[in-house]
Structure 1
Amino acid sequence: MSFKKNVYDTMRELISVPSISGTKEECAAAEKIYEKILEIPYFKDNPENLGIEQIEDDPLGRSFVWAVVNGNENSPNSFILSGHLDVVGVEEFGHLKSMAFDVDECTKRISELNLDEDAMEDFKSGDWIFGRGTADMKFGVALNMELLREFSKERNFKGNLLLLVVPGEESNSEGMIAAAPFLLKLKEERKYNYCGMIISEPSIPERGEKEGKRLYIGSVGKIMPLFFCVGKETHVGESLRGLNPNLLVSEINKLMECNPDLSDSVYDTVTPPPMCLKQMDLKEMYSVQSPLYSTAYYNILTLQASYDEILSNLKELAQNAFENVLKDISKKREKFAKKSSQKLKFDNIEACVITYKEMLCEVKSIHKDFEKYIDEKVKEWKNEKMDNQTIAINIVKATYELYENKRPMIIISFIPPYYPHKHLKAENSEDGKFINAVDSTIKYAGEKFQESIVKTNYFMGISDASYTGINPDIPLTELISNIVGYDIIYKLPVKELSKLNIPVVIFGGQGKDLHKYTERLNVPYSFEVIPELYRHMIYYMLR
């Protein structure tokens, strides 16, 4: 049986498990992967080199799978092939929803849905397969599994080849975050040196390209600021007497949304500007009283921006938003006074912007049992199946309710998840060797396959690469202190990540339309070229 057929059959089998992120099917996918690797003769003889590890305190009981093949020649150098087993949902497949996880049937019938010109052209070419998980990313997982099988037979390399398959990448990267301490433990116990990692995400067309054949040597970071706005309640009959926090949030949104001044840039890469992910007030029931609280949180992507720089920009923006609202309200009061011929008395409101950390310190200094109180509240909210972001908003609200200096204000914090940016640095010796392997592989692709692969500085889709090590320049301690609910609802293995710092690239098959019903994978390039390039890179690092 050919290697290509082995990969295809394994991919088709993995896709048939509908492991949608945040469901129990992720557990089924991990079990399937573990069982298939267990069939490889090498692991029957070396059971200590294979495991399925449950994620601690995971509400779904999810696990990640790992396996190691030792080369015939001993060396601490260890190369990692990694990927995620979860996929996004399939609602958009319409009447083909039941076939979304059947590659052959979905490919055969995908033209029954509305295809754009590019998707129709690819469908007619016969070079592309369709279905959920084809590109993102069960081909990559299947390829890694079959390469592990192949390398386990001859073992004609020096060092160790490690497979790592994780859940939760499409949600909060729970799998890779949980795997980091395990990788460090393996490194320390077996004296491994992690010389490189490939995360097998597909490359996709960028900037109007027809094809997208790329190798990414970095991954964008992500931070989520929360603006918690406190207003001053009033009756609708006296609308100018109070301060509606929805006004504050609206002005923040006006200044934040798609603001290019808040885009980060390095080399030739510029991040998309921020976008509001959720905006709401916290008024639970209808009444003729204005709401007291309103919130909004945003997606900010990073390449090199520091925490201090981001926080400073957000505080300045919030201050401007508050002042803009107060000026606008003042003008409206004057206009109303002239129109109504009434002498109105208004409470003086001044702009106030603080960080959650500042407020929390004051509250904890007075309420010594605060942490116990919040722990109990978080348990209640978790039992109500709230997501981490909603719980974080409730924590800020509960903290403010115990805050003595109550007044209209904007409280700035960060909420989960947080993704540090990551990039290979030539000046780092380990990174430098891996960059040489990358350059050699790209050259090999051109010479043997006439394929032009673009070495690209950053993968812009957010990835598990963020949790393969922490840049020492990032002041994590300071940042974490302003993440709401850190250690209660969300935690990063900071100590472990600071000791790992694995050189990583994102490199896989050629895909298009990830997370859409037209998700597809190019067969010739993915099944015939990519395996050879993986072999080249592995042997370069483990020769």
Structure 2
Amino acid sequence: MLNSREEIMRVTDELVKVESVVNTEGEIAVSTHLYKHLQSFPYFMEHPDQLIMSRTVNDEVERYNVLAFVKGTKQPSDKTVILMGHTDTVGIDDYNHLKEVACHPQELMKALQNEPLPALVKQQLDSGEWHFGRGTCDMKAGVASHVFLLKYYAEHPEELVGNLVLLAECDEEDSSHGVLSSLKDLKKWREEHGFDYIALINSDFVAPRFDGDPNRYIYKGTVGKLLPSFLITGYETHAGSAFEGLDPNFIAAELTRQICYNPDLCDEAYGETPVPPVSLKQTDFKPTYTIQTALSAYVYYNFFIHTWSPKKALGILKEQAEIAFENALSLLRERHRIFCERSGQTWKELPWKTRVLIYEDMKKQLVEEHGDRFLTHMKAFKDELLKDKSLDVRMFSARVVEEEWKWMKDKSPAIILFYSSLYSPRIELVGKDEREQNLIHALEQAVEVVQPHYPHPIVMRNFFPYVCDMSCVALSDDEEGILAIEDNNPSWGTKHYVEYQDIRDINVPCINIGPYGYDAHNRYERMEIQFSAEVVPNVTNEIIKRLLG
């Protein structure tokens, strides 16, 4: 077992003290700090061309990845293992009056002693075995573990058959510009040095799955994340004549009721079940108050998948939208009937019908009906819309759909289903080829070696349950699944674009072994020191030895 605790804790604190909130200049600062730290290694003084700080591409924000590699000398081999971790964090506003010490663990823990704390937080703080601060758990301790191992093999290349690459990427917490940009550097190194990428070990944080859960988890794949989005068009009316129109917010509310927390929308696989969808935004597009109902509403949901392709998910969600639309109309009809009876008005059937369109089908229809005139107009519209920097990719997409809807001949109320953000691909690591089998076998052996040195069960599962950058280094989806993303994202090729071929070109089997802790995105973020600074590097190292030993 490597004696890693002291050095990993020191490097963790150094990284944490560099406030590196995503989409701020702190991302540059932390990459610069790490780059200079690696520069100080004698190995990189002797091999400066094996360490780079590389700016992200097609990115409105200036930020950098840090990549380095050590070549083993035990015997010639192209086999290469990648150690990956992100250096950015979420914000620190949630620390409130403790913001000034959020990135200074020792000062923060001292200040927390004077705060009213939940019982478990207080117990762990007093134990001395937990380390607090923004980025400690998510995931600077993981990066520190990788740096420790890179340094070890830089000092002992004679123990290595093959190559060890460190990828410390930026922008994991927002749009994955870091890892997606790094694929080009990894491809370049493969061409220049003949690297054969056989495995990637990510080090994002892991957490309990339920209260009292004693297990510490290692994940062999990762959940996929979609952002299914729905523009709902209604029929405007004066509020005093409510039943003469159709309020899109009424449909949106029923859609959210149908989709949110719905266990039927959990993609269970290999005995594991992701959390169901939940709403991340629900709004209408009325810019100011009027006495009229809205013309359109917009909702989108987080949607995790294990084995469903983006194309299959569209079909499932279209069915749910049709159910929601019909339920809303049924309720509306009943309420209209009761209102007419009570008010003495003559009842007549309302004209609305259930109507759900998938975006690519709607766009094909518009191209068939309007041809180049429509395409030319929409290109100009998107070019102009790009000038509005206040629009994120999700609102940009909604505005595109809203504009395209104006070209529809049949403007009866409808739900238009599309994707409006980055797709984080699902990854299944099930031993389908020799590389996957070797990685799984090495992981199982590594856990067997380390488990006797640690009191809590180290348990392997198939899907990392949160979004992470492992999704950008391998693909389990076929071409049809990826095309469903491209054809149904209104911002594709303008506000949003991913070179999925870059991912296919790398397509490396990946696992996650990361710091263990709680509350990764809130003010009590903390990690357990023993697992994070001792178990993580030693399990990782045992895998490296089996793959490159």
Q: TM-score range by the shorter chain?
A: over 0.9
**Matched residue, 2:312:** 309
Within 1, Cα distance between the matches of 2:255 and 2:392? 24
Look up the equivalent residue of 1:71 and give its one-letter code: G
> Displacement of 1:33 after TM fit?
1.1
Structure 1 unmatched ranges of 5 or more: none
**Matched residue, 1:446:** 451
Within 2, Cα distance between the matches of 1:460 and 1:251? 28
Within 1, Cα distance between the matches of 2:318 and 2:541? 49
Within 2, Cα distance between the matches of 1:271 and 1:449? 28
Q: Per-residue CA shift, 1:243-294, capped at 9, x if unaligned?
A: 1111110111111111111111012211111101100110111111111001
> Displacement of 1:203 after TM fit?
2.2
Within 2, Cα distance between the matches of 1:317 and 1:427? 33
Q: 2:392 aligned with 1:391, yes or no?
A: no
Within 1, Cα distance between the matches of 2:215 and 2:520? 13
Report if aligned partners of 2:223, 2:305 keep a CA contact under 8 Å in 1: yes
Which region of structure 1 is more displaced relative to structure 2, 517-526 or 224-233?
Answer: 517-526
Within 2, Cα distance between the matches of 1:530 and 1:430? 22
**Matched residue, 1:81:** 83
Report if aligned partners of 1:198, 1:506 keep a CA contact under 8 Å in 2: yes
Look up the equivalent residue of 1:36 and give its one-letter code: H
Q: 2:436 aligned with 1:434, yes or no?
A: no
> Displacement of 1:387 after TM fit?
1.5
Q: 2:422 aligned with 1:421, yes or no?
A: no
Q: 2:470 aligned with 1:491, yes or no?
A: no
**Matched residue, 1:66:** 67
Which region of structure 1 is more displaced relative to structure 2, 201-210 or 26-35?
Answer: 201-210
> Aligned with 2:76: secondary structure?
strand
> Displacement of 1:210 after TM fit?
4.8
- 1:467 corresponds, among 465, 472, 475, to 472
For this pair of structures, how many residues does the alignment match? 540
Look up the equivalent residue of 2:412 and give its one-letter code: R
**Matched residue, 1:42:** 43
- 1:375 corresponds, among 382, 391, 394, to 382
Within 1, Cα distance between the matches of 2:362 and 2:384? 18
Change (3 A) 1:407 1:161: same
> Displacement of 1:6 after TM fit?
2.8
Within 2, Cα distance between the matches of 1:184 and 1:469? 13
- 1:139 corresponds, among 138, 141, 152, to 141
Q: Per-residue CA shift, 1:298-356, capped at 9, x if unaligned?
A: 01110112333321221112122222222222233333333333346676222211111
**Matched residue, 1:285:** 288
> Aligned with 2:225: secondary structure?
strand
Q: State the TM-score, normalized to the length of structure 2.
A: 0.94
Q: Per-residue CA shift, 1:109-163, capped at 9, x if unaligned?
A: 2222332221111111111111111111111112211221221122021110000
Structure 2 unmatched ranges of 5 or more: none
Which region of structure 1 is more displaced relative to structure 2, 435-444 or 307-316?
Answer: 307-316
> Displacement of 1:450 after TM fit?
5.7
> Displacement of 1:25 after TM fit?
0.9
Aligned positions of 1:503-522 closer than 5 A: 503-522=509-528
Report if aligned partners of 1:101, 1:131 keep a CA contact under 8 Å in 2: yes
Change (3 A) 1:337 1:531: closer
Within 2, Cα distance between the matches of 1:238 and 1:448? 72
Q: C-alpha root-mean-square deviation of aligned residues, in Å?
A: 1.8
**Matched residue, 2:544:** 538
> Aligned with 1:372: secondary structure?
helix
Within 2, Cα distance between the matches of 1:472 and 1:519? 34
Provide the identity percentage.
29
Which region of structure 1 is more displaced relative to structure 2, 250-259 or 477-486?
Answer: 477-486
Q: Per-residue CA shift, 1:469-490, capped at 9, x if unaligned?
A: 1114462113321122112122
> Aligned with 2:291: secondary structure?
coil
> Aligned with 1:470: secondary structure?
coil
Which region of structure 1 is more displaced relative to structure 2, 227-236 or 350-359?
Answer: 350-359
Q: 2:112 aligned with 1:110, yes or no?
A: yes
Report if aligned partners of 1:434, 1:503 keep a CA contact under 8 Å in 2: yes
Within 2, Cα distance between the matches of 1:528 and 1:280? 47
> Aligned with 1:149: secondary structure?
helix
Within 2, Cα distance between the matches of 1:243 and 1:472? 39
> Displacement of 1:27 after TM fit?
1.3
Report if aligned partners of 1:110, 1:130 keep a CA contact under 8 Å in 2: no
Within 1, Cα distance between the matches of 2:277 and 2:144? 35
